[in-house]
Structures are given as structure tokens and as C-alpha cells.
Amino acid sequence: MNHPFSYLQKYADQAIEVLQDLPMGNFQIHQWNREKTAEGIDLVELSFRIFYYCRCCDGWIEGHMKIEYVNNIQPMALAGRQGTALVCRRCNYEISFRGMVS
């Protein structure tokens, strides 16, 4: 039997711009596990901006990553994951996962 939501496809927006370098400004880069984010003030536009780095897109993308809740633990097989996945908005690459893996 198929999962009732198996017909849903993950939406990816290939029109989102990928920057090879951060714009000129004062940015703090935070790295935890496989996540890499940058936040700070853009000196050109004089505004606060947030970026994240995607390895698949090979660059910085403005905004926040998508948060997807994963619960695919199979009780009979005792295998699967339950937690939160951080996913790129542009290509749907899973950047990081926080939770339980069995």
C-alpha cells in the first residue's frame, strides 16, 4: 500500500539566485554539523540579510532553509528516522538532519 501523501512532490524553485561569495558587508558565519549560515548587514543595501550555504548548489542562498518534519519509522523493521530535516529551497538537497535514527 502506498503512503496517502506519496503523490505530493517536493517543491523546488530553480529561479532562486545562488551567490558564489557573500555580498560586501559584515557577516558572521555560523557552522554546526553540516549547516552553514551567515547573517549580518549588507553594506551596499544597508539591510540585515540571512544566507545559508548549499553544497549541492555550490553557493550561498538568501533566506532560511526549509524545515521538514520526518517520521518514517517502521515499527516492524525498527528502522527509519524521526526528527527535523533542513532542506535547500532551491534544489531540495537535505543539508542537515536532527533527530532519532534507528
Query: Is position 3 within any domain?
Result: no
Decide which of 77 and 21 is more confident. Answer: 21
- Round to whole Å and give the CA distance between 80 and 42: 41
Query: Is position 10 within any domain?
Result: no
The mean per-residue pLDDT over the stretch 41-65 comes to 92
> How many domains does one find in the chain?
1
Domain extent, residue 39, equals 25-101
Give Cβ neighbours of residue 63 (< 8 Å, ≥ 6 apart): 50, 51, 52, 89
The answer to whether the pTM exceeds 0.75 is yes
Query: Is position 81 within any domain?
Result: yes
Q: 36-49 pLDDT, tens per residue?
A: 999 999 888 889 99
Q: How confident is the model at residue 74 (pLDDT cuts 50, 70, 90)?
A: confident
Query: Is position 20 within any domain?
Result: no
Decide which of 44 and 95 is more confident. Answer: 95
Give Cβ neighbours of residue 15 (< 8 Å, ≥ 6 apart): none
Average pLDDT, whole number, for the chain? 86
How confident is the model at residue 67, as a pLDDT? 92
Residue 16 DSSP one-character state: S
